[in-house]
Each structure stands twice: as structure tokens, then as C-alpha cells.
Amino acid sequence: MGQLNFNVFNLLIFSGIVNGLIFSTVVLSKKKFITNNTIYLALIVLFLSLSNLQYWFLDTKITEKYSFIKYVFIPFHWLVLPMFYMYVNKFIGNKITLKRQFLLILPFLIVSILYTIQSVYSLFINKLYLLPSHFENGLFVYLELASICFNILLIILSYKSIIIYEKKDILTLNIIKAQTSWLKQLICIGLLICVAWLIAICIILILNKNTSVLFYPLWIIISLLIYWIGYVGINKSLELKERIQLRQVRIQKSKKAKSIKMIPQEGKEAYKNVIGLILNEKLHLDPKMSLKKIALKLDLSEGYISQLINKNSDSNFNDFLNTLRVKDAKRMLKNVAYNNYTLESIGLEAGFNSKTSFYAVFKKHVKKTPLQYKKDVQNL
């Protein structure tokens, strides 16, 4: 064991590997965590962990003691971004054809074949041939460079999918707009990893270095990313699942409610038309609802609608929408049928864009936090 290379850095990296393997196993084996997108989330963490594990074997020189390990090297890092791309598109509701899924994993299959050919050649054809190091100028390093380019391409495509989704106006009660800001943060971290990866590769190619130390920043960032994806990703996915369930319950109830008739008149009747549109179509559930969107639907000017609301409700447009959102939230907090859902899911379902804004606006209107209000009305 004295020949092995153990230090505080690769021990930190190993802790991230263990955490990732446990997380992915739990998510893939527990029914309560399974949704149409969390499978891809678990696979992202699994492939990140397995990729780091293989490089950990190389760095600690375990492969020198157990040489068979280096002959079964599987390029899991070629699967991470394909899984992320599929996760992003599943999360925002896009369909991915089987043909596209195959094209996404095709590079992994090609690189795996190249690794296999090289291992077979070394083991059975030319035993004098030594597999090149993963940390010096050679085939492996050039494949790493190709992997960086492939990953950046998928990062760009994922970001493009998110931007297109964010620009869509969803004005129907049946569709929920997923939160995507955290995905863009994840993309920024992904780009940071690619930069650290590229710097290490360039140093190897330009200075002809042969050391795994150059990759420590990359592996440590990935280890931290495993923790972050595990905590944030699963919570966002389950939160979306909760909101879909909440929305289905509310759709059933809204079908029983009476619609407000639209009357094409001026003054008070015009105000009733605005209110009728918002309530009938539940426009306040959209966190990005604006005067412009309502003006386009009613064929009225933004200024006129704003004036109607200010005059008849003694509040501005944003305050008016927040009042409706608070009423919706209070209705759900009172009802024991919603007790299985988190306060954050209820706030988002009521139309607030974050837990922070929900708590701030609710306390401003009700003089209590959502939790305090729930306990009081339900005598908890």
C-alpha cells in the first residue's frame, strides 16, 4: 500500500464519488423519487461518479497494483451531457425522439469501441504494447479534447432549449411553467468544468506534462457538483411533480366554478371584463403575467387597463395580482386535502415566482407567515 498515492484531495474526491453512487442508487430504486425526468438526473450523477471513480483509480495508482482495471476503462464522461440534455428537455416538457437519443449516445459507443480495440490489442495481439497514460500527450488526451467540444455543444443546445421555453407564453390552466433559473446556473457550472478541463489538457499538450494533479480542480468541482445536483435537482423535480398534482386537483374544482361573463361596455363593465379574464383563465398563476399580455387578449391599451384597476381596486396591477395569489394560497392552506404538499409548492402554484417572494407578499397581506397561518386555521 506504500506505493499508492493517497492525499487529502483524492480523499475529498472519493467522498463525492460515494455520495453520488448512493444518491443515484436511492433515486433509481425508490418509487417516490421516480418521475419522467429524475431518471436522467440520477444517471447524470451516476455517470459523473463512475467517471471520477475511474480517474481516482488512475490517480491513486490502484491500477498499477490491479492492472486489469485499466483495461476495462469505460468513458462514462461521454454520457454525462447527453443525460443532462435529455433531463433538461424532459423537465421543460419537450419530447426527444429515439433517433435523437441514439445520436446523443453514439459518440460514447464509438469511443468505447476505440478503448476496447486498444485494450484487446495490448492484451492479446501485442503484449509489448503499453496503454498510454491518460495524463500525457497521446490518444486519450485527444479524445478528452474531443469530449470537451462535444460537451460544450450539448451545453449550448440545452441552453437554447431553456431560452425557447422561457419565451413561450403559457396562458392555459392545464400547463405548468417549470422554473428554469437553476438549470441555467447548472449550465454555468458545466462551462466552468469545461474550462478547468481544457486548461489541464492544454498544459499537457503544450508543456508535455504527465501528471494527474492538473485534473484535481476539475475532479473536486465535479465532486461538489454531485452534491449540488443531488440536493437541488431532486427537489426541483419533485416540486414540479407536486405542482402538477396540485394543478390537476384545482382544474377539477375550477370546472365546477361559475365563469364570469364578459360584457363589452365601458367603465365598471370594462373593469369586470378585465377581472373576468384574469379569473376565468387563471392568469395570475403565471408569475410573468403582465399588462401587455392582458392588453393583447382584450385588445385594449395597457394604460387603460392599468387605470381601470387603479380606480376600481385601489391597488396597482402587481398588487392586484398578488392579492389574488394570496387568496389562492390561503384557500389551499386552509384545506387539509393539500397537507401533503410543501409550502413552497403551494406558493409556486398560487403564481409566485419563488419561495422568498411568496413568504414576503403573504406576510405583508396576512401579517403571518404561511406556516403560522396554516397552523392557526387548521388548529395544528
- Answer whether residue 36 shows pLDDT above 60: yes
Highest mean pLDDT among 69-73, 224-228, 367-371: 367-371
pLDDT at 265: 46
Cβ(40)–Cβ(89) below 8 Å: no
- Mean pLDDT for the chain? 85
- Answer whether residue 289 shows pLDDT above 50: yes
Please state, in angstroms and rounded to a whole number, the distance separating the CA atoms of residues 292 and 300.
9
The answer for residues whose C-beta is within 8 angstroms of residue 85's C-beta and 6 or more apart is 104, 154, 157, 158, 161
Q: Would you place residue 107 in the very low, low, confident or very high pLDDT band (cuts 50, 70, 90)?
A: very high
Residue 302: exposed, middle, or buried by beta-carbon count in 10 A (0-12, 13-18, 19+)?
middle
pLDDT at 260: 42
| All three cell numbers of 119 | 485494450
Q: What is the mean pLDDT of residues 318-325?
A: 91
| Four-point Cα dihedral 234, 236, 240, 242, nearest 10 | 70
Please state, in angstroms and rounded to a whole number, the distance separating the CA atoms of residues 186 and 192.
10
- Burial letters 153-176, b for 16+ CB under 10 A, else e: ebbeebbebbeebeeeeebebeeb
Cβ(261)–Cβ(276) below 8 Å: yes
pTM of the complete model beyond 0.85: no
Rounded to the nearest 10 degrees, the angle between the axes of helix 291-298 and helix 302-313 is 110
| pLDDT tens-digit map of 205-229 | 888 887 888 888 888 888 888 888 8
Backbone angles phi, psi at 324, to 5 degrees: -65, -40
Please state, in angstroms and rounded to a whole number, the distance separating the CA atoms of residues 143 and 140.
5
Least confident of 92-106, 151-165, 252-266, 330-344: 252-266
| All three cell numbers of 280 | 376565468
| pLDDT tens-digit map of 127-183 | 888 888 888 778 888 999 999 999 999 999 999 999 998 887 655 555 566 778 889
Please state, in angstroms and rounded to a whole number, the distance separating the CA atoms of residues 202 and 221.
19
User: What counts of helices (H) and strands (E) characterise the chain?
Assistant: 17, 0
Q: What is the mean pLDDT of residues 321-332?
A: 91
Q: Which structural domains are found in the chain, ordered by start?
A: 8-244 (1.20.1070), 247-378 (1.10.10.60)
| pLDDT tens-digit map of 17-32 | 999 999 999 989 988 7
- Answer whether residue 43 shows pLDDT above 90: yes
CA angle 349, 355, 359 (to 5 degrees): 100
Please state, in angstroms and rounded to a whole number, the distance separating the CA atoms of residues 36 and 16.
25
Residue 105: exposed, middle, or buried by beta-carbon count in 10 A (0-12, 13-18, 19+)?
middle
| pLDDT tens-digit map of 228-283 | 887 888 888 878 777 777 777 666 655 554 444 444 445 577 788 888 888 888 88
| All three cell numbers of 34 | 421516480
Please state, in angstroms and rounded to a whole number, the distance separating the CA atoms of residues 295 and 273.
11
Rounded percentage of the chain residues whose pLDDT exceeds 70: 92
| All three cell numbers of 139 | 490518444
Nearest to 78 by CA among 55, 106, 99: 106
Residue 40: exposed, middle, or buried by beta-carbon count in 10 A (0-12, 13-18, 19+)?
buried
- Answer whether residue 57 shows pLDDT above 80: yes
